[in-house]
A and B are shown apart, each in its own frame.
Chain A
Amino acid sequence: MDSLQGVILSATGVTRVFGQGESAVRAVDGVDLSVRSGELALIMGPSGSGKTTLLTMLGGLLRPTSGSIWIDGVDITRLSEAELAPVRRTSVGFIFQSFNLWETLTVQENVELVLNMAGKPGGAARARAISLLKARGLGARLNFRARDLSGGEKQRVSVARALANEPRLLLADEPTANLDSIRGREVMHLLRDLAHSDGRAVVVVSHDQRVREVADRVLWLEDGRFREIGQLARDPVCGMTVEAEDAVTLTHQGRTVYFCSAGCRWEFEQAPERFADAGPRDAGV
């Protein structure tokens, strides 16, 4: 539908309810979202706000209770499980927080396998896998077992795998969470390039404030709904991004420090010197 206007991902009134009756929880509640070609959209929000649930629905891994999701002009909410598999294979690339590589396979096989799944034969799949991995600086690691790589290398393999079948939509769940700051920054810039240079739509779910540097748009999800973003701050104890307006606060050395919970504030109070960079980090978008 919207693909002619450059919209690759479109979600309308997407709702997901877990449980029934009084115990029913609306994890995602009437979310509308459009992501265009060449755009990197960042979804932030507190833990339990429904970010990952939304991402799994956008990727066709979980069915919404109501609403519709369109990828490249196809309403995936109307597809059967058997019809969804090819969509996930060719139209969507997934990048996971914990990499989710196949540990017993080699680096090359991790990429080659998704090509095989898409019906690409051995020789062509091998050549494409090698090319993708070399482009990510992993030419010397092709025959390593995935389990023998560093975190940064694993994430680069994960990105190469996500790109193997040339999807137009990339979904990344906390892609920098298990990486040090240097590797995290590399991945962020890689995601930006994939959106800007290759014309893909990239949706990132993250707590990492650094991702905001590369995001074209930041969305705040709370209680299953997108909200206007106010002043954001970083909890110095757990590192989580919190909205200053709703956060637990403490005045320390004349500054207001923001926490996600009373537990983090208590931890801070016991030894403030451990959290030297305490203080508001951000003034919103």
Chain B
Amino acid sequence: MTVPVARRYLFAEKGRFAISVAGVAFAVLLILIVLALYRGMSRTGQTFREMPGALWVVQDGTSDPFHSVSLIEEPRLDSLEDIPGVAAIVPVLARQMQFEVEGKRTDGRLMALDLPEDAVSAGLRNHYAPPRGAMIIDETLQRMTGLDPGDSASFGDVSLTVDRVNSRSPEILFQYVFVNFTDARRIFGVHDVVTYGMVIVEEDADPEAVENAIVASDPALDVLTKDEMADSIRKEMDETFLPVISILVGIGFVVGAAVVGLTIYTATIERTREFGVMKAVGGSAGFLYRVVLSQAAILTSAGFVVGVLGALGVARLAIEAVPEFATEFRMLDIAGVLAGAVLMAVLASFVPVRRINSIDPASVFRA
């Protein structure tokens, strides 16, 4: 245990120390919140991964559920049932549309699965296929609209009652409203056309072989895996937000490094004579660098801890205020920010270290 010079110097100016920690914490908070938001948003499309269909039959030329409409004559799906490896093909109707809750219009993505009675568990039906006249929403939509079980919403001239509220979904761009397949036909005004066919593959079957067989059997159809469906939605997020997020993370890093750098630089300038005395009495360059680096490390560590706690708190508060605000904190991201903070401390020490190098130890003899 040696004399804690760095700590003494930092704590000698408690006000400045607090402001500097707050500055670093702000940078860490900004970076972490942006990353957590990105991670949360990246989970959009997760609904497709959670549904039981490994493959999704779409109209040929359909790129994703957003930008292209898929329309498939329902009898075409019937002909696919006999393909080896197919356990069931579930007709799906889906469309983004507005609906009314107590006179207020809200966006949602209606989805209706025509689940066969014998192919799926009761739990699945509870989750995705309500009885006629009912709908299933999630907690996010519940908080956005105020809809509780038993409340109604109007989809054109069709009124549906909330039957069940699923746990919060990771969807960002819109929230899913699962409705009964027959109700969906009425709402959309279609009879023998569906949007997709959700393919439930037999347990021992090879999904890729099934996919190839479906495409080969009907050239008017295409097949996307559930991951491709989810990724096509996520791609939208990545293209829109990744550049912005990268810039914000960069700004956070620069702000953090600048705060630490300026604080240590100011502390070094103010203590030029004391560092000069250290040099004069034989303090090695390594010893002096350690003092500067230790100051930077203490500041950065304190700022990092406060920043992480702040980010968790802000995320919690933000979700209360904005229900669709989806965040996900990953240990790997936190570790990455910590590594960034360490880099910040090292870079921030560079200028003060140069300053120390330039101190003339003989100057301490001047009164």
Contact = CB atoms under 8 A, between A and B. Distances in A.
Interface residue SS majority, chain B = helix
Contacts of A79: none
A94 B3 contact: no
Interface string B247-283: 0000000000000000000000000011001111111
Interface stretch (A105-113, A185-193, A242-250, A270-278): A105-113
B365 A117 contact: no
Interface string A253-279: 000000000000000000000000000
B5 A113 contact: yes
Contacts of B280: 59, 61, 88, 94, 100
B282 A52 contact: no
A56 interface: yes
Contact of A55 (B12, B277, B278, B365): B365
A61 B274 contact: no
Contact of B1 (A55, A59, A85, A122): A122
Nearest to B282: A89
Interface in A166-181: 173-174, 177
Q: Which of A92, A102, A103, A116 counts the most B-chain CB atoms under 10 A from its CB?
A: A102
B3 A109 contact: yes
B8 A114 contact: no
A112 B1 CA distance: 11
A118 B365 CA distance: 22
A117 B274 contact: no
A10 interface: no
B274 A103 contact: yes
Contacts of B277: 96, 100, 102
B162 to A, nearest CB: 65
B362 A117 contact: no
Contacts of A61: 280, 361-362, 365
A96 B364 contact: yes
Contacts of B12: 104
B284 A85 contact: yes
A86 interface: yes
Contact of A117 (B8, B287, B361, B364): B287
Interface in A42-60: 52, 55-56, 59
Contact of B282 (A55, A88, A122, A125): A88
A244 to B, nearest CB: 27
Interface string B352-367: 0000000001101111
A105 B5 contact: yes
Contacts of A161: 281
A88 B276 CA distance: 13
A114 to B, nearest CB: 5
A52 B5 contact: no
Interface string B332-367: 000000000000000000000000000001101111
A34 interface: no
A173 B282 contact: no
A56 B3 contact: no
B312 to A, nearest CB: 35
Interface string A69-93: 0000000000000100111111010
Q: Which of B277, B278, B365 counts the most A-chain CB atoms under 10 A from its CB?
A: B365
B14 to A, nearest CB: 12
B329 interface: no
Interface residues of A, number: 39
Nearest to A108: B3
A231 interface: no
A209 interface: no
A97 B367 contact: yes
Given A56-B365, A85-B283, A98-B367, A122 B2 contact: yes
Given A85-B284, A117-B283, A117-B287, A104 B3 contact: no
Contact of A173 (B2, B278, B279, B365): B365
A86 B282 CA distance: 6
A61 B166 CA distance: 76
A96 B365 CA distance: 7
A283 interface: no
Q: Which of B9, B282, B285, B362 counts the most A-chain CB atoms under 10 A from its CB?
A: B282
Given A100-B273, A112-B3, A117 B285 contact: no
Interface in B36-70: none
Interface of B: 1-3, 5, 8-9, 12, 273-274, 277-285, 287, 361-362, 364-367
27 contacts: A52-B366, A56-B362, A56-B365, A61-B361, A62-B362, A85-B282, A85-B285, A86-B282, A88-B281, A97-B365, A97-B367, A98-B367, A102-B278, A103-B274, A104-B9, A104-B12, A109-B3, A113-B2, A113-B278, A117-B278, A117-B281, A117-B287, A121-B2, A122-B1, A125-B2, A161-B281, A174-B367
Given A61-B365, A117-B283, A165-B282, 8 more contacts: A52-B366, A59-B280, A96-B364, A104-B8, A104-B12, A112-B3, A113-B278, A173-B365
Q: Which 7 A-B pairs have the closest CB atoms?
A: A89-B282, A122-B1, A88-B282, A116-B2, A61-B362, A104-B12, A56-B362
